[in-house]
Amino acid sequence: MTRKWWKEAVAYQIYPRSFADSNGDGVGDLRGIREKLPYLKELGVNLLWLSPVYDSPNDDNGYDIRDYRKIMAEFGTMEDFDALLAEAHANGMKLIMDLVVNHTSDEHPWFQSSLRDPDGPCRDYYIWHKGRDGKEPNNWVSFFSGPAWNYYPERDEWALHLFSKKQMDLNWDNPALRREVYDMIDWWLAKGVDGFRMDVINLISKDGLADGSEALAGAIGLRGIEHYFYGPRLHEYLAEMRRESFGRYDAVTVGETAGLGMQMSKMLTAESRAELDMVFNFDALENPGKTRFDDYRYDLRYLKKYLLDWQQNYGDNCWMSLFFENHDNPRMVSKVNPDPAVRAPLAKLLATLQLTLKGTPFIYQGQELGLANVDFASINEINDVESRNLYQELCGKMPSEEAWKRILAGTRDHARAPMPWNAGPNGGFTAGTPWLRMADGWQTCNAADEMRDPDSVFHYYKKLIALRRENPALVYGAFRPVFLKTKRHADVFCYFRVLDGRKFYVECNLTAHQTPRPAPLSGAQAKRIGNYAEEAPVLRPYEANVYEVL
Ligand code: ISL
Ligand code: CA
């Protein structure tokens, strides 16, 4: 297996709007992030991913980019960015950007030119079509509700937007557009950024205009999906992009690729194919048959099945990313078990899995504090465009209380609530009014308090991150699961990580009930970390332990 810096890294995702506000306007910013670098250094992470910080009208909080080479005014200036990058590097941390190139804002000069100058150079930068009997060119729907097309009288044509009405899909079949994108990527790489997380990169190749099938739209109702998920020229574009930009730098790429499956994942990340380094696979973020907006308890025994498959079958030519949370998903602890009494042990169990399995861990801000979902009171407290549109749509189909229940189960704002830094006003996030409501409970659950408490979720993460960074066996070691055949041990997940004579053993109880402990290890061993202070003959709720076999 090839050794790479990004396989050994522990990554941390920052949602800048909600991380730290340096100037009291209620919005997190680049200086805020810079002020928190010592915190991140103490935690031990060494690869930072920033959600978009580019100039944007914020219809989708920065995922609608107006200028790829400019910093969003609310977040600061390019000087602030350069200073952040330099200081991250000086502290031994790499920094990757969010690359959003499936679409731009409708306020991007390319779109404005495409719209107003139909014979100009940007004519075919977007996906324009004539209407069908005065209506949309086809029946595709947007991820954010409603038809995926806007009509523009200026061209008497419709333009495709798979996301919000202000996020216009780029036409990747146009080589001139692709060149613009590669030049932009180069510009950032030349500046010294260490790579990119690539937003909905699996959508960039569309296969034409045919109507979407109702049957294939699936539980999420995405009619048209079969025409642009992993489209016909995706691999060609990824390989070209790598050749023309990333490939000439020591940069890492992580594709955001929903609805993936192992075969496609291997095709995207196999070293020999030179497309992407890693992908984010969402296949196990919900239990089978469930979607994010269903109110249910996630059963971790399903995660075990998924991990057993991927850890054993993904091969040595591919490398996984490991994550439970990001800015688009509710908090994992709340999904699995919202009971506050088990929050800490459960958060530590998830940390144990994420930091002892094979793959690069991506921790989402606040996960290291064990943050839970927010008890939003009504749709008025919700900012997210996806939630607001979906709420409107659902209210047409069901009583508004029921619609609200679905939004509350799945809204992306759970993860976007500002970081609680201390027990002071607004959790120390801002001296002003936070742009989005804080989660209740920051008075007792915040970074400062957890840093003082040696038993906190924060300290557990810190110790585990250090353990992983010091032990190549936890990075490159073979994965060897045990106790798979006994029904008695269906609730536990136990495995070894083995490399060059070093051996770690991990045992986890995936349930909220006590369960028999599998036979203990024989021979000399040392416990490296665990989420219960005392040893016991059984595994307690969500118990997790890591031993080194000596
Ligand atoms: O595909 C999905 C469900 O099957 C979605 O979760 C999809 O992956 C997701 O909405 C894409 O997210 C990314 O692109 C969006 C942006 O709003 C998100 O914040 C970003 O992470 C559009 O840029
Ligand atoms: Ca600010």
Residues at CB less than 6 angstroms from ligand 1: 60, 63, 100, 143, 163, 199-200, 220, 256, 258-259, 327-328
pLDDT at 486: 82
> Catalytic residue positions?
199, 256
- 103-169 CATH, one of 3.30.200.20, 3.40.50.720, 3.90.400.10, 3.40.50.150: 3.90.400.10
Domain ranges of the chain: 103-169, 478-549
Does the pLDDT at position 219 exceed 80? no
Mean pLDDT throughout 374-384?
A: 97
Dist. CA 196–CA 88, nearest whole Å: 16
Alpha helices in 245-331 (DSSP H): 262-269, 300-313
Residue spans of alpha helices (H) in 326-439: 332-336, 343-356, 385-395, 400-410, 413-416
* For the CA of 104, the nearest ligand: 1
Dihedrals φ, ψ of 336, to 5°?
-80, -45
The alpha carbon of 35 and the centre of ligand 2 are apart by a number of angstroms equal to: 12
Mean pLDDT estimate for the chain: 97
Q: Name the closest-CA residue to atom 7, ligand 1.
A: 258
Architecture of domain 478-549 in this structure: Sandwich (2.60)
What's the CA-to-centroid distance between 453 and ligand 2, angstroms?
A: 29
Is the predicted pLDDT of residue 284 greater than 80, yes or no?
Answer: yes
- Categorize the per-residue pLDDT at 342 as very low, low, confident or very high, splitting at 50, 70 and 90: very high
Q: Distance from the CA of 265 to the center of ligand 1, in angstroms?
A: 18
Stated as kind and residue range, the H or E segment containing 449 is: helix 447-452
Task: Say which ligand is closest to the CA of 23.
Answer: 2
Confidence of residue 468 (pLDDT cuts 50, 70, 90): very high
Residue nearest (by alpha carbon) to ligand 1 atom 1: 258
Q: What is the pLDDT of residue 538?
A: 95
pLDDT at res. 519 = 82
The pLDDT value recorded for residue 367 is 98
Q: Which residues are CB-neighbours of 503 under 8 A, at least 6 positions away?
A: 473, 477, 496, 497, 548, 549
Residue type for 274, please? A
What is the value of ipTM here, to two decimals? 0.95
How many Å separate Cα 102 from the centre of its chain? 17
Nearest protein Cα to ligand 1, atom 2: 258
pLDDT in tens, 294-307: 999 999 999 999 99
pLDDT for the residue numbered 220? 80
pLDDT band at residue 17, thresholds of 50, 70 and 90? very high
Closest residue by Cα to atom 8, ligand 1, is 258
Query: 259 falls in which pLDDT band (50, 70, 90)?
Result: confident
Kindly tell me if the per-residue pLDDT of 514 is higher than 90.
yes
Kindly list the protein residues that place their beta carbon closer than 5 angstroms to ligand 2, a single-atom ion: 21, 23, 25, 27, 29
Residue 96, both tokens: 């990757």
Residue 521: pLDDT over 80: no
* Residue bearing the CA closest to ligand 1, atom 12: 200
Confidence check: pLDDT of 49 > 80? yes
Confidence band (pLDDT; 50, 70, 90) for 234?
A: very high
Average pLDDT, integer, range 187-215: 97
Q: Is residue 523 predicted with pLDDT exceeding 90?
A: no
Calpha distance 27→73 (Å, rounded): 11
- CA 215, 218, 223, 225: dihedral to nearest 10 degrees? -110
Ligand 2 centre distance from Cα of residue 375 (Å): 24
- At residue 534, the 3 state secondary structure works out as coil
Report how far ligand 1's centroid is from the alpha carbon of 144 (Å).
9
